[in-house]
Structure formats: C-alpha cells, structure tokens
C-alpha cells in the first residue's frame, strides 16, 4: 500500500501494524501513551484526509484503530517518557539557552504533520515545526470568518467546518492579500520571539528586522503551498488561505471588474511579482520537494542570517555569539535530517536547501515593490499594521 490507511498521505511505515504516514504514526502513539480522551463535534463521522486530519482528533484516532493500528504494538520505550536530560555545557551543540520556548502546551497544540524521518536530537526544530503546524491550521480558521458565505445563523459551525475541510480554490481578492499579509507578519513576529537574541532587542530594532523578515516568512509559507500544487496548477502562486495569484492578472477576474480603470496598470505590474516569486521560490521548492521540517529550517535561517544590506549581523554585535551558536545548531540539525532522509546525497540536498535563501531574498524586493506600487497608486487600502511596518 503506497498511501496512509488513515489519511491517504504518503506511507512512512507499518510500525503499528497498519501502513501510515509519519504524522498519523506520531499522533497514534501520543494518543495511546497519554490515554487521550477526545470529543467529536460532528456526530463521530468526520472524513479523515491529509488536509482534514487535524480537525477532529476523535475521528482520526477511531480511524487509526479501524484500519488496524494496534496499541499493543507500542513498545515500552515509547511510554517511558523522556530520559533525564543532561545539563548542557556552554559549548554543547544541544545548548538551548538562546532558544525561548513560547509554543503552546502539547495538550492544545496541533501535532506535527511533516511526513519525513525526524532526526535524533532535534528538540529545537521539533518545537518550531509544531509552532508552524499550529500557525498554518489557524490560517483557514481565521480566513473563513471573512468569507461572505459564512454569515451567521444556526448552521455557522457547519459552514466553518466545511470551509476548513474544503477551502475554496479561487483567485485572491484584495481582502485576501491584505489579511494574509497581516497574518504572515504576526506569524513571523511570533516565530522570531522564540529566540532570545530577538526578544532582547528594543521594539524599534525588532520592527527593523521584521521589515525584511516578515516578507521572507510569508514567501516561504506561500512558496511551500505553491510547491504542493499538482502540475496542472504549476503557474499559480498560492497564498495562505488557499487562494491564488496568476502571472495573467485577468485569470479568474470577474467580468465586471475587467473594465476598472486600474486594470491596464495592474496587468503590466502584477505579473512581475508573481513571476519572480514562482521562479525564485515556488519552482525551486517544488523541484526539491521541500517538506514542512525544511520550511521551518528556512524560516529560522532567514531570521538568523546576515542582512543583505550590511556586513554586520542584523541583531547587533552584542548578540554575535548567540546568533552564531543558533545558526550552527540549526545547520547541524538540518544535516542530521538530510542524512536520514537521503543518506547518499545529504550534503547536496543540504546545499540546495541553503541556496533557497538567496532565492527568497530576491523575491523580497519584488514583493516590497509590489506593495509600494499598490500603495502609491491606491490599488489597496492596507491594514494599519502592514502600513506601520512596511510602508512608513
């Protein structure tokens, strides 16, 4: 069997007597070990797919049992809990003194869904992948509240559930772009605050870093979503709520809007950003088949790396040692991961992933220019948070 018996995703193994992806294997083990008691809000008959598996944990666990996953197959070492941690030395690669754990408790966070082998001793990135999963799960739930079709009434929860389970794939509108720019900036800030060097900066310095990093974070998230599309949609750029942009500005545009006086200008300017984003980020991520673990690496290294406009660290000289240590830690964990995922070409894959950073930086300028043009020509009315960080 080539697909997960629970959600249909790519199979990782038969560890618990049924073919399952890594996400479902981890979910099943944690649920059994913790003797978790879940509740279903939809009549205990939710459809479990790779896109909806995080929505109802009750039905997901029942599906695990139904397809033959066995609690008895969990070894004793799986339920003993974490071994006593060694006290890290100052120079130990496992030292996490520069990493602040602000992620939610396990009982409320979404379990990691990346379906590739996880390396040993990757505590830092494991926490970041969990944070990433939680942020992505919130994109649809937040976006659905701005949909005109949701409305109010007694069936509002059914509408929200259907939206999250089957998000519409349509052309992005102004409010989609505005909303997702704000969500991405908030997510980037939350991500950066996991790291002590960023936390210790004053607000003006944090804002200065987010001016560039907010764009980088957004491009990685959107690039990964774009890379997940099948070949029929390879020329579309996808934003976080599953709506798309096309190099052809008129694609999907309602006929009534085609006669807007701004359309000729938009037709000329819009494709520049979309093409740059596809060529610099989306297509390379598709070719490499970047997974969720590797996107977390990219987001972190983009934060910690040198600013392209200066030879100094963006965090300042006083944080050089901390930032150096974090960079070494992340690249070390990435190498371990690449060795487990592709032992023969681990170094090549790691190098290819690191090269994506330059592609993201190229696309940042196009995105910034697109925002500036939209602001100058009054194509969009941006949220005050976006204006405060990006346009002042």
CATH number of the CATH domain containing 132: 1.10.565.10
Q: What is the pLDDT of residues 138-175, one digit of tens each?
A: 776 665 555 544 344 445 445 545 544 455 578 888 88
Residue 244 phi/psi, 5° resolution?
A: -130, 160
Question: In the listed set 43, 77, 111, which residue is the last one of a domain according to the structure?
Answer: 77
Question: Are residue 291 and residue 199 in the same domain, yes or no?
Answer: yes
- Domain annotation covers residue 241: yes
Q: Are residues 331 and 239 in the same domain?
A: yes
The secondary structure of the chain in percent helix, strand, coil, rounded to multiples of 5, reads 55, 5, 40
Asked if the structure places residue 111 within a domain, the reply is: no
Residues 137 and 11 in one domain: no
User: Do 145 and 29 reside in the same domain of the chain?
Assistant: no
Say yes or no: 132 and 73 in one domain.
Answer: no
* One domain, residues 215 and 358: yes
Question: Is 85 a domain residue?
Answer: no
Question: Would 89 be classed as within a structural domain?
Answer: no
CATH at residue 21: 3.30.50.10
Same domain, 254 and 140: yes
Q: Is 158 exposed, middle or buried (0-12, 13-18, 19+ CB in 10 A)?
A: exposed
CA distances from 273 to 1, 243, 363 (A): 41, 16, 7
Position 8 confidence tier, pLDDT thresholds 50, 70, 90: confident
Judgement on whether residues 299 and 380 belong to the same structural domain of the protein: yes
What is the predicted pLDDT for the residue at 150?
A: 39
Is 114 within the bounds of a domain? no
Residues 68 and 17 sit within 8 Å (Cβ to Cβ): yes
Choice between 86 and 377, residue whose per-residue pLDDT is larger: 377
Q: Tell me which of 82-86, 208-212, 242-246, 388-392 is least confident.
A: 82-86
Mean of per-residue pLDDT scores for the chain: 79
Determine, yes or no, domain membership for 246: yes
Instruction: Show which of 17, 50, 77 is a domain's final residue.
Output: 77
Inside any domain, residue 3: yes
Mean pLDDT value of segment 223-252: 88
What is the Cα–Cα distance from 18 to 4, expressed in whole angstroms? 8
| pLDDT digit string, tens, across residues 46-98 | 889 887 888 888 999 999 999 999 988 887 543 334 444 443 333 334 454 56
- With respect to residue 98, please indicate whether it lies within any of the assigned structural domains: no
- Report percent pLDDT > 90 for the chain: 32
> Which one is predicted more confidently, 376 or 112?
376
Instruction: Please indicate, yes or no, whether residues 52 and 197 belong to a single structural domain of this protein.
Output: no
44 and 162 both lie in a single domain: no
- Residue-level pLDDT at 313: 56
What total number of domains does the chain contain?
A: 2
Domain boundary among 45, 77, 109: 77
134: domain range? Answer: 123-390
Tokens of 175: 């409010």
Q: What is the mean pLDDT of residues 299-311?
A: 73
DSSP-assigned beta bridge partners for residue 99: 195
pLDDT surpassing 70 at residue 42: yes
């Amino acid at each position: 069997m080539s697909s997960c018996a629970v959600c249909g995703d790519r199979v990782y193994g038969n560890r618990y007597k049924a073919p399952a992806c890594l996400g479902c294997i981890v979910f099943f083990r944690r649920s059994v070990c913790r003797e978790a008691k879940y509740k279903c809000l939809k009549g205990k008959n939710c459809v479990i797919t790779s896109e909806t598996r995080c929505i109802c944990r009750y039905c997901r666990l029942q599906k695990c049992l139904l397809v033959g996953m066995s609690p008895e197959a969990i070894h004793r070492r799986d339920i003993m809990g974490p071994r006593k941690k060694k006290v890290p030395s100052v120079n130990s690669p496992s030292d996490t003194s520069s990493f602040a754990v602000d992620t939610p408790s396990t009982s409320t966070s979404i379990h990691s869904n990346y379906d590739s082998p996880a390396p040993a001793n990757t505590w830092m990135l494991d926490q970041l992948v969990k944070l990433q999963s939680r942020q992505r799960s919130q994109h649809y739930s937040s976006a659905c509240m701005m949909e005109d079709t949701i409305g109010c009434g007694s069936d509002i929860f059914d509408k929200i559930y259907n939206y999250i389970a089957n998000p519409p794939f349509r052309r992005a509108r102004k409010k989609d772009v505005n909303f997702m720019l704000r969500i991405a900036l908030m997510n980037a800030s939350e991500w950066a605050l996991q790291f002590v060097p960023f936390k210790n900066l004053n607000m003006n310095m944090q804002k200065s870093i987010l001016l560039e990093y907010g764009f980088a974070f957004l491009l990685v998230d959107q690039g990964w979503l774009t890379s997940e599309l099948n070949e029929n949609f390879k020329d579309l750029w996808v934003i976080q709520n599953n709506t798309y942009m096309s190099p052809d500005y008129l694609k999907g545009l309602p006929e009534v809007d085609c006669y807007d006086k701004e359309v000729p200008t938009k037709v000329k300017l819009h494709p520049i950003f979309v093409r740059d984003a596809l060529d610099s980020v989306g297509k390379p991520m598709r070719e490499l088949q970047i997974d969720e673990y590797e996107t977390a690496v990219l987001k972190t290294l983009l934060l910690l790396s040198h600013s392209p406009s200066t030879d100094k660290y963006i965090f300042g000289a006083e944080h050089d040692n901390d930032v150096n240590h974090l960079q070494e830690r992340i690249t070390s964990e990435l190498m371990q991961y690449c060795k487990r995922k592709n032992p023969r070409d681990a170094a090549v894959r790691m190098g290819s992933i690191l090269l994506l950073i330059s592609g993201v930086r190229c696309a940042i300028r196009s995105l910034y220019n697109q925002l500036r043009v939209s602001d100058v020509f009054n194509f969009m009315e941006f949220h005050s948070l976006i204006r405060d960080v990006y346009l002042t």
